[in-house]
Amino acid sequence: MSAALIADNQVRVYLDDILQTQGIVYTVEAYDPLSGSPRAIQFITPPTIGIRVLITVSTNAQYTVTGNTLTFNATGGLVPNDSSIIAVTSWNDTRQQDILTQVFVGPITQNVVAQEGYDDTVYSPDTVDGASGSFDYAAGSIITVNNFILEREIIDTSRLWVTLNGNRLFYGSGFTMSGQELVLTSGVINAIDVMMITLFTNSVAPGAMAFRIFQDMRGVQATYRITTDTTTTLTATLGATDDVMYVTNAAALAEPDLAINIWGVLTVDGERIMYRTRDTVSNTVSGLRRGTAGTGAATHAVNAIVYDLGRGNLLAQEFQNYIDYNEFMADGVTTLFTADNVVLAGDDSTLINEAVEVYVGGILLTELTGYTIIGNNPVAVQFDTAPVAGVQITVLIRQGVTWYAPGINTASDGVALQNTDTQAARFLRGM
């Protein structure tokens, strides 16, 4: 198709699958018949590094979709007759599907040269020239072949949507794959045949994984992995005051070591329970301490899920959330307290006010009542009135760490935690 046929309004540009406005975000270069170069779009402001750019052209398309309306091209496309059945297949929100559609019309031609090697034919005298048998003879011919080279490696062929003249083809019966080339089992297509191949991302939603962020009555958080090997269920009702718990598999729960003050720890229906003894023969844990860390003792039914919260399932300290803080003792005179351990990047006052917590005598002050944050590197807190002498002042900020592999200018590269190859992610998956 000649680039001269493409109207500007038939060109659409998407950044990370979000439609952009022509004339504001980008312009379309005019067609120049003398240059012979393909037309291009020009961004007014260059897109940020890492953003995916998608350019589509609807010229000669049989239909277009705008919003939720499908419009057939009445002049150059296919207009259905009365009573025709129209079937529409959609993939809903496609922003994470990385869809690529390639259209091939007819085969391509190739020159094939047949070369006769030395002594491949009967010896010919020097009177024979330019024919088979003469020295260094070669003959060329033109053949037609398909050229369905895809733009990416195909890991799962079931994720290909292939049609020939509108008829769906399937792997094994309509086509096969050879590297990145799709090979039709029916051979070379005709000059007017239309082959359409839609590819989807090879990255699909992985299987579920689980972890628990447990926060105790003091607000201290800890992250534990949840794995099949360290999970079991109740085989008998557990009363709120019972001292023995019957489970399907006691070996899924950690062995206590009271000699070094290591208790077994588990949760069931949100109740955190510590235990002194584990019996893998009778499948029980006993010597229970009920409703620990601010949870409430309760009755739990048969088949309630029991999760091990032993040290073996505790995520390493360097991957846990943590707190940077400074503590001061008020003297009744000082109103300015500088927390050298509490440092924030940037100078957005709204974010600073939300991130920094100030306690006076163990009570959290809210809505900046009675104080102002006047610095961020380090954080400095200015009280309107000096706190009473002998009262402890605490200035803190809660910090988090990422378990993901970083992306370009982002905390994550977009890969699901189930597939992320970091130490924290591997631990949470039970690896």
Q: What is the pLDDT of residues 224-281, one digit of tens each?
A: 999 999 999 999 999 999 999 999 999 999 999 999 999 999 999 999 999 999 999 9
| 293 and 355 inside one domain | no
Question: Domain end: 314, 335, 364, which one?
Answer: 314
Has residue 20 been placed in a domain?
A: yes
What is the model's pLDDT at position 254?
Answer: 96
Has residue 260 been placed in a domain?
A: yes
Signed CA dihedral, 245, 249, 250, 254: sign only: negative
Low-confidence ranges of the chain (pLDDT < 50): none
| 229 and 186 inside one domain | no
| 218 and 193 inside one domain | no
Give how far Cα 310 sits from Cα of 231, 240, 266, 346, 395, Å.
11, 22, 7, 39, 32
What is the model's pLDDT at position 377?
Answer: 87
pLDDT tens, residue by residue, 344-361: 877 666 788 888 999 999
Q: Which two tokens stand for residue 370?
A: 């009675």
Question: Domain end: 295, 314, 333, which one?
Answer: 314
Closest C-alpha to 374, from 387, 358, 388 = 358
What is the model's pLDDT at position 368?
Answer: 80
What is the model's pLDDT at position 142?
Answer: 77
Question: Tokens 């010919």 map to which residue?
Answer: 124
Q: Which two tokens stand for residue 336?
A: 């300015």
Has residue 310 been placed in a domain?
A: yes
Has residue 290 been placed in a domain?
A: yes
What is the model's pLDDT at position 391?
Answer: 94
| 27 and 113 inside one domain | no
CA–CA gap between residue 168 and residue 425 (Å, rounded): 40
Percentage above 90 pLDDT, the chain: 45
What is the model's pLDDT at position 73?
Answer: 82
Has residue 9 been placed in a domain?
A: yes
Q: Which two tokens stand for residue 169?
A: 């083809």
| 217 and 192 inside one domain | no
Has residue 414 been placed in a domain?
A: no
| 190 and 230 inside one domain | no
CA–CA gap between residue 123 and residue 135 (Å, rounded): 9
The pTM of this model reads 0.56
What is the model's pLDDT at position 259?
Answer: 93
Question: Could you give the number of structural domains in the chain?
Answer: 4
Domain limits for position 46: 1-88
| 215 and 306 inside one domain | yes
| 293 and 341 inside one domain | no
Residues 387, 363: contact at Cβ < 8 Å?
no
Q: Which two tokens stand for residue 195?
A: 């082959």
CA atoms within 13 A on the CB side of 80: 10
| 107 and 192 inside one domain | yes
CA–CA gap between residue 106 and residue 194 (Å, rounded): 7
Q: Which two tokens stand for residue 233?
A: 């269920």
| 138 and 176 inside one domain | yes
What is the model's pLDDT at position 375?
Answer: 83
Cα-atom radius of gyration of the chain, to the nearest Å?
A: 35
| 304 and 368 inside one domain | no
| 295 and 330 inside one domain | no
Has residue 431 been placed in a domain?
A: no
Question: Domain end: 314, 334, 350, which one?
Answer: 314
Has residue 95 been placed in a domain?
A: no
